Amino acid sequence: MSATVASGGPYARGSAYARAFHGLMVRDARVLRRELVAFLLRTVMNPLLFVFVFTYVFPKIGRGLGGGPAGGVSFATVLVPGLIAVAVFFQGIAAVALPLATELGGTREIEDRLMAPLPIGLVAFEKVVFSTFQSVLAAIVVFPLLYLIPAEPVSVTIASWPLLIGVVLIAGLLAGFVGLLLGTVVPPRQIGLIFSLVVIPITFLGCVYYPWQQLGPIPWLKVLTLVNPLVYVSEGLRAAMTPSLPHMPVAAVLAALIAITAALAWVSTRSFVRRVTD
């Protein structure tokens, strides 16, 4: 075992890193399996209540959410990409930031993983990769709720599977890096605060409940929301799943998502390495 990182060439080194990386994934998978119920509750609760109240209860009691988007599409349809975006995003942040707060806090229990024979930046990246997996899982769990609960018609047409999968994957990575940054920057004891200070504003101003282009009447908000990465996730999913709704051009969405993810990857990895090295 001890000879795994041999002095051999780059190939031997790469394969040793890959094995260590895989070991970290195996550990995370075991922990997730143990906490699966908590994971599901965390993922399902928000979208479940949201679609239940706004697309089941409201129509039944004769209250609609005013107007409704262009094209006569139901509010329930608007919510499908939006709430999947939130689930992916929220899950990605939580899956990295919450455990990190404990691991970096009093117990320093991340120490053994930092001693694994691979560069420390890859220990951070493994967390993000694993959280992306959880984000995808969240999307898969949430979709049926959004489709089945509403009392009004939901029209989902997958315009492009590659786009759908691509946006979910990039969004998962992006959210994981946000979680990594928050988990290393926010003092562990205040990690709960990030949900009221970061996650909630991002969600409500993330074009989750309304397409971006319909913000026309409030121009300042339309511009301001462009700094919110969740906007691109919602819009990207709208383009992929509900193409009849207005949405941003796909190229703009992808460019923004990739640029933001790359920038966050750099900043958050640096922040992690600094946080764990004296």
37 is a contact residue toward other proteins (CB under 8 A): no
117 is a contact residue toward other proteins (CB under 8 A): yes
Question: Cα–Cα distance between 237 and 206 in angstroms, integer?
Answer: 12
192 contacts 247 by C-beta, under 8 angstroms: no
97 vs 241, beta carbon nearer other proteins: 97
Handedness of CA 254, 258, 261, 267 (dihedral sign): negative
7 is a contact residue toward other proteins (CB under 8 A): yes
63 vs 108, beta carbon nearer other proteins: 108
* 3-state class percentages of the chain: helix first, strand second, coil last, to nearest 5: 75, 0, 25
4 is a contact residue toward other proteins (CB under 8 A): yes
The correct pick among 10, 108, 179, 220 for binding other proteins (CB under 8 A) is 108
Helix (H) or strand (E) holding 245: none
146 is a contact residue toward other proteins (CB under 8 A): no
73 contacts 150 by C-beta, under 8 angstroms: no
**Closest approach of Cβ 190 to other proteins, in Å?**
20
Question: Cα–Cα distance between 34 and 48 in angstroms, integer?
Answer: 23
**Closest approach of Cβ 37 to other proteins, in Å?**
15
The correct pick among 51, 80, 101, 116 for binding other proteins (CB under 8 A) is 116
Give the residue among 88, 68, 47 at the shortest CA–CA distance from 236. 88
Question: Cα–Cα distance between 185 and 40 in angstroms, integer?
Answer: 27
The correct pick among 16, 159, 205, 252 for binding other proteins (CB under 8 A) is 16
129 is a contact residue toward other proteins (CB under 8 A): no
203 contacts 72 by C-beta, under 8 angstroms: no
Stretch that binds other proteins, among 12-20, 74-82, 129-137, 168-176 (CB under 8 A): 12-20
The correct pick among 79, 87, 88, 118 for binding other proteins (CB under 8 A) is 118
107 vs 190, beta carbon nearer other proteins: 107
Compute CA distances 38 → 44, 155, 244, whole Å.
Answer: 10, 31, 36
Binding site for other proteins (CB under 8 A): 1-5, 7, 13, 16-17, 19-20, 22-24, 26-27, 30-31, 34-35, 99, 102, 107-120, 276-278
